[in-house]
Chain A
Amino acid sequence: MSKEKKAPETTHDDKDRAGIGPDADTEKLEERALSVFSSERNEDITALILCLITTFLVLASTKWHLF
């Protein structure tokens, strides 16, 4: 891989798009993909907590008939 990273193509002329054209470098996209959470750990913990809540709700409604 070349050391010189190509900046993502921007399409400033089109305000409706996210500014990433089909020829953009994926590396930048990766950063975007992870940037909702400040770290991988936070992302994992949130995913785990949400799954446990989902599981509890499913058990409560289908098995324990709480609601």
Chain B
Amino acid sequence: MSSRAQQNMPTLILGGIMLAYGLIAKTGVMLPILKYLHTHKSMELQVTMGLTLGIIGIVAALINMIREPQDTILDRFVLQPIGGILLLLLLAMAVRWYLEPLVKIMSKALQPALGFKIYKVLNLNYVVLGLLIGVIVTNTYGIPRFAASGVKCARFVLKMGVIMLGARYSFAELAKLGVYSVWLIGIFVLGTVFLVLWFGNLFKQPKTMTGVLSAGMGVCGVSATVAVAPVVKARSAEMAYTIGTILSFGIICMFVFPTIGKMAGMNPVQFGAWAGTGILNSAQVAAAALAFNAVDIKTLKVAEIFNITRVLFLPIIVLVLATWFGKEAGQKLSFKTVVIDKFPIFILGFLLLFAMSSMGLFSPPSHYKGKFIDVSYNDRSQITSEEFEVLDKALKENTITGLSASQMEAVRDLHRQKQIAGNFDERNDKKLFDKVGRARMTELESILAAAKAKKIQLAADVKHVIKHAVKQVHKKSKTVSTLTDCMIWFFAFGLIGLGMQITKKAIFQAGGWPLVIGGISGIIKATLSFFVVLWLVKDVVLN
């Protein structure tokens, strides 16, 4: 076999594996496994990706085998890196469709023994799992030769993830918060950035590390790290270290915040504002908010809005750090240099998608992250006939107890109409119909919250019916969901590649200082925001 054929054999095999996977998935043989993993809804995507990527891989490998490599755009961006791209995609598929769901299932199985869900506590989602897989591959087998060129695409794809992130936010979120709250968030974001920069200087840490850590600690995890890395010329290991520091700090916060909040007697809104300001990772913010108060949904909503508003400060932080890094490197920087020459174009992409989202191109601006509630009559919003039987039996036998009169009425109406909706007679008055339907949904949600907080006893099958009915009226814009999916895939691909560039030595070179600096600044931020929130945020911050 010629050396070219030998070199491209792994790519050909990878293409073959993907094609075979697509074909097997198409037959439906894997449906039971996918149902067990709760990934069966993505079966169509699994087939499409398997077949498309498989064919592309095989064709590219065959071209590479027959043809002498040349210096064309096709060679540089497709034919040479295709092996690595396929490997990263295969790993991303394994993480998204198999590993992440499996970790969730195992965590749930271990919950009775451990008392908590390990995937929630350690935040074992595709971000962490992807990074870990990349690190493991590099530090055990090493990056295979055929994949070396493709791994170079990781940072580029991560940038695409940050651009797509813009589609998830809109000005409507900012408008929900008063100017006063936006100022509060802005001051904390910038304050943390400067605090970390100061600590970095104090502990004589590399500017590249300090720069990327400051953005990560000030704004949020992955997106801020990726956005700022090219501006401060951060290494892959420094990016990974920043993400690791943020997540580790968040794990501690998830336990400490609710305890302190309860001890200090914070109200739901105050705690939401504090958690949204002090904790960085959005999943951990949600976990802390629910741990503090599972009944009052306001805590979670305030926390989420405070949390996401931070992301909107990303472009400002990029400008600040570009100026700081330039000055530290001894460059004379004019306004033009910073704003036009140094400002990363992909952040403009983030702003562009944010603007498109704010204009309502993806979903009406009033919809929160493309989610909306639809209580109109719709066959697809109905509960199933089996669920109706469960509810019917429970109501006839009077087994649903401990509910308030309005909650009970909402359950009875669900039984009557088989879905959450307004009154049939009032269907022509859209406003009133919608108002009544939403009120019923709120009542049913409060039943679920009370059951979760163990304030009432609710049979598991009845709880399931109510949960399903509530889920049915929570709709999602298909455009926003698909754009979010694209973003997740870009991040999964990029993070595995990023992990592949982190060697053991690089981790030891960074030492424990980033953790120390991140920890100290995180604690200072959490403490200050605690007092500021207690002092300034009384009750209603949402417009």
Contact = CB atoms under 8 A, between A and B. Distances in A.
Given A30-B236, A54-B164, A18 B143 contact: yes
Given A1-B206, A36-B153, A44 B236 contact: no
Contact of A44 (B138, B346, B502): B346
B345 A11 contact: no
A55 B504 contact: no
Contact of A48 (B148, B157, B349, B356): B349
B144 A18 contact: yes
A47 B361 contact: no
Given A1-B206, A33-B154, A47-B346, A26 B160 contact: no
Interface residues of B, number: 53
B54 to A, nearest CB: 21
Given A11-B142, A44-B345, A47-B349, A29 B236 contact: yes
Interface string B144-164: 110111011111110110011
Interface in B462-506: 478-479, 482-483, 486, 501-506
B139 interface: yes
Main secondary structure of the interface of B (DSSP, over half): helix
Contact of B509 (A19, A26, A61): A26
B479 A26 contact: no
B436 to A, nearest CB: 30
B163 A48 contact: yes
B235 interface: yes
B501 A33 contact: yes
A37 B502 CA distance: 20
Interface string A8-29: 0001001111111111111101
A30 B154 CA distance: 11
A37 to B, nearest CB: 7
Contacts of A20: 138, 142-143, 148, 503
Main secondary structure of the interface of A (DSSP, over half): helix
A51 B164 contact: yes
B237 A33 contact: no
A29 B349 contact: no
Contacts, number: 137
Contacts of B483: 54-55, 58
Contacts of A30: 235-236, 501
Contact of B344 (A22, A36, A40, A54): A40
Contact of A18 (B145, B154, B504, B505): B145
Contacts of B140: 22
A63 interface: yes
A47 B159 contact: yes
Contacts of B410: none
29 contacts: A14-B142, A15-B145, A18-B144, A18-B148, A20-B138, A20-B503, A22-B505, A25-B506, A26-B237, A26-B509, A30-B235, A32-B501, A35-B152, A36-B149, A36-B152, A37-B156, A44-B159, A44-B345, A46-B156, A47-B159, A47-B346, A47-B349, A48-B163, A50-B160, A51-B353, A54-B483, A54-B486, A62-B479, A63-B479
Interface of B: 76-77, 81, 138-145, 147-149, 151-157, 159-160, 163-164, 167, 206, 230, 235-237, 344-346, 348-349, 352-353, 356, 361-362, 478-479, 482-483, 486, 501-506, 509
Given A36-B77, A48-B348, A59-B361, 15 more contacts: A17-B141, A18-B142, A19-B145, A26-B236, A29-B235, A29-B503, A32-B151, A33-B154, A33-B155, A40-B344, A45-B345, A47-B157, A52-B349, A62-B482, A63-B478
